[in-house]
Amino acid sequence: MPVQESIIFTPVRIPRPEHTLSRSKISQAALSVLYQLQKAGYQAFLVGGGVRDVLLGRSPKDFDVVTNALPEQVKSVFLRQCRLIGRRFVLAHVHLNRSIIEVSTFRAHHAKGGDGVIENGRIVRDNVYSNHIHDDVWRRDFTVNALYYDIQDFSLIDYVNGLADLQSGTIRLIGEPLLRYQEDPVRMLRAVRFAAKLGFTVEPATAAPIFHSGGLLAHIPPARLYEEVLKLFFSGHAVESFRQLRKYNLFMPLFPYTDACLGDDPMAMALIEQVLTNTDQRIAENKPVMPAFLLATLLWPPLLRMLPDRSLPTKEGNQQELLIETVQHLLTQQSRHVFIPKRVTTLMQDIWLFQLRLTGRSRGKRSLRLLEHPCFRAGYDFLLLRASFEESLKKFTDWWEQLQQGDENIRQSLLPNHPSPSKSLQRKKRKKKK
């Protein structure tokens, strides 16, 4: 069924006095892009999250502009401020006032004809440009994301009853849901993300196919899924996103090894819920967050499971090698689902190795050196997180806490007969000079 047959409304134009989207809520950079396109003789609209979030009284993450100008024409308006990106979907990025405004050209949905390329129901190329806004609307995902703000007269254009859905808090796919998920399975993750972020309800026909379509995510490049995972867990609604992912059976295709632990390991669930809660809280307080820390926590339960005795190795000898081998094995398997970049996995491995170091027997002068290690904070915080569920770790966290708090004298009493780090540093320097 062509997508536009299942949901047809007459487009409604809402004049400026009848809606609440004020220009003062749109960034200067986005306004400037809209005006410059208009001045060059093109149509220009704000669309997507920028319109949706402003109408909801929230601050948008970014502003997306759509126009009838082709990418090359956009480039000729903004010249060196503009970069064309993407091969599957060519977009223009306009760099203004230290922000990036994404400008896309109207595209027709493949069901409207043209040469959009579909393989096994999936869109693999989508550069079917159109001159008409009414073509563009059908390729958008949800009705609340398909509201257009026209810079020419400041009116809103609503083709798919998006305003009503915005008011009732409804996530509704445009078109036939299963087909739209097959075209691009990431839309399932987007449904979950918007439901979590906005506190909206996914309407039944949009929700129904998701429960049994998680397998479609296997067709998505794992690097794209990593970007989606970051959006799900680092937009301030990680707890709710996780809950919804689990509800719709979407967590399993992303993190199958973690998912396998959640059924019978209440501690794993508690640990993960806690790290997600902490992440949301840090974002609410504008504190920095570290993907490596959250991912190290998510993958900790399956890591333990893969180790002999299902726990950190404690025997003397090659315990570190054993841990590294297992980490590499887990990360290789995991990267087939969600690809975690090397800079992040390196940190994750460090955080995990620190669990051995911070609970090991030898706490001599090496301990003082560990304090200066760039990964100490993350490793120690992870130990703290674990200790809130494992009483037996308390003695280690207390010990490290004292070591960090203490002045030089306390450090010396904790580490009898060991030189202070400053002395050992001096000695190292002297050696170097020689």
Q: Where does this chain bind ligand ATP (CB under 6 A)?
A: 48-49, 61-62, 64, 140-141, 145-146, 184, 186-187
User: Rounded distance, CA 111 to CA 349, Å?
Assistant: 46
Q: Which listed option, Mg ion, ligand ATP, none, makes contact with residue 141 (CB within 5 to 8 Å by class)?
A: ligand ATP
* CB nearer to ligand ATP: pick between 121 and 313: 121
Nearest to Mg ion of 37, 323 (CB atom): 37
Closest CA to 3 of 163, 182, 127: 182
Residue 208 to residue 410: CA distance in whole angstroms: 61
- Beta carbon of residue 6, minimum distance to Mg ion (angstroms, whole number): 25
Residues touching Mg ion: how many (CB under 5 A)?
Answer: 4
Q: Is the dihedral of CA 332, 338, 339, 344 positive or negative?
A: negative
Nearer to ligand ATP, 181 or 257 (CB): 181
Distance from the Cα of residue 88 to its chain's centroid: 21
Q: Which of Mg ion, ligand ATP, none interacts with 29 (beta carbon under 5 to 8 A by kind)?
A: none
Q: Which helix (H) or strand (E) holds 117?
A: strand 117-119
Partners of residue 12 on adjacent β-strands: 158
Site string for Mg ion, 38-67 (x = CB under 5 A): ----------xx------------x-x---
407 is catalytic: no
64 is an active site residue: yes
Least distance CB 104 / ligand ATP (angstroms): 7
- Amino acid identity of residue 262, one-letter, is L
CA–CA separation, 380 and 308 (whole Å)? 24
Contacts 24+ apart (CB under 8 A), 84-89: 88/124, 88/125, 88/126, 88/127, 89/126, 89/127
State which residue has the least CB distance to Mg ion: 49
Q: Which of 53, 135, 136, 141 is catalytic?
A: 141
Question: From the candidates 64, 158, 165, 280, which is the catalytic residue?
Answer: 64
For residue 297, give both structure tokens. 């926590």
C-beta closer to ligand ATP: residue 206 or 397: 206
CB of 112 to ligand ATP, least distance (A): 14
The least CB distance from residue 180 to ligand ATP, in Å, is: 8
158 is catalytic: no
Residue of closest CB approach to ligand ATP: 49
The edge-to-edge listing of strands for the beta sheet with 99-105 is 12-14, 156-158, 147-150, 44-47, 64-67, 99-105, 91-96, 82-85
The CB-of-246 to ligand ATP minimum distance in angstroms stands at 21
Residues annotated as catalytic are 62, 64, 141
The contact set with Mg ion (CB under 5 A) reads: 48-49, 62, 64
